[in-house]
Amino acid sequence: MRIIIVEDETTAVRQLETLLQAADPGIEILARLESVHETVKWITTHPAPDLAFFDIQLADDTSFSIFEQCEVSFPVVFVTAYDDYLLQAFEYNSIHYLLKPITTEKVSQALQKVRQLERHFTAGGLHDFLSARKEPVAYRSRLIVRKGVDYAPLEVGDIAYIFTDHKISFARTWQGENFMVDQPLSELEAQLDPAQFFRANRQYLVNIRAIRRFKSTDQSKILLELTPEPKEEVLVGKDRAGVFRVWVRG
């Protein structure tokens, strides 16, 4: 794995390098950068790394300004001594957020998230997803649904989420109506725009517009608050939490 480190404290750079090598001896450090200016220059003149560790507080600005000055098409782990920037970090390419002091275990968890994301995006690659450089794909604009014995077209934009109940799929509208769909969730996931719908778990395929808010749980899962309110809690598992954070950022 090829990594860049953006950190203006020499001691912190050395410590992070040591922890990275302990977590994965095969890691290659491509660059050690100390400022926003230096980082922007490096990113615009080199191929993208597999991962970057950005300290948030740099000498010339916060590392968030890097995203405003150039395209960052690779995943980023933010590092800081404070948790004040947590929500802001997830507006960018953050897949993880490390609070100092950093340990080998924390670094290993961050690396594992990157590997999980790469496996998930095997077709186009994680870098292509983050930079949004995809070929146009024709996704379904409506579904054929059932209400009793009748069939009817339902616009995808009218669907808040799709869920399964006793192995039967139902599309729930913004008005709270449920319509049966004669397709499994796995098929629907492949046919609907992934920028609009996210497979939260085995039971729920969620429209981004249905997510009112979300929060992390003690088990490293993510609890979604949806509208209309579902009859049960909707949790994103810890194995999908990193993917969700990348997706919800847009």
d(C-alpha 96, C-alpha 109), whole Å: 9
Q: What average pLDDT does the segment 46-53 reach?
A: 92
**Range of weakest confidence among 50-59, 70-79, 131-140:** 131-140
The domain spans of the chain are 2-131, 142-249
pTM: 0.52
Q: Has residue 87 got a pLDDT over 80?
A: no
Band (pLDDT 50/70/90 cuts) for residue 90 is low
Q: What average pLDDT does the segment 184-209 reach?
A: 91
Alpha-carbon separation of residue 229 from 75, 108, 206, 225 (angstroms): 32, 36, 12, 7
CATH of domain 142-249: 2.40.50.1020
d(C-alpha 47, C-alpha 178), whole Å: 48
Dihedral of alpha carbons 31, 32, 36, 38, sign: negative
Q: What are phi and psi of 38, to 5 degrees?
A: -65, -40
2-131 fold: Rossmann fold (3.40.50)
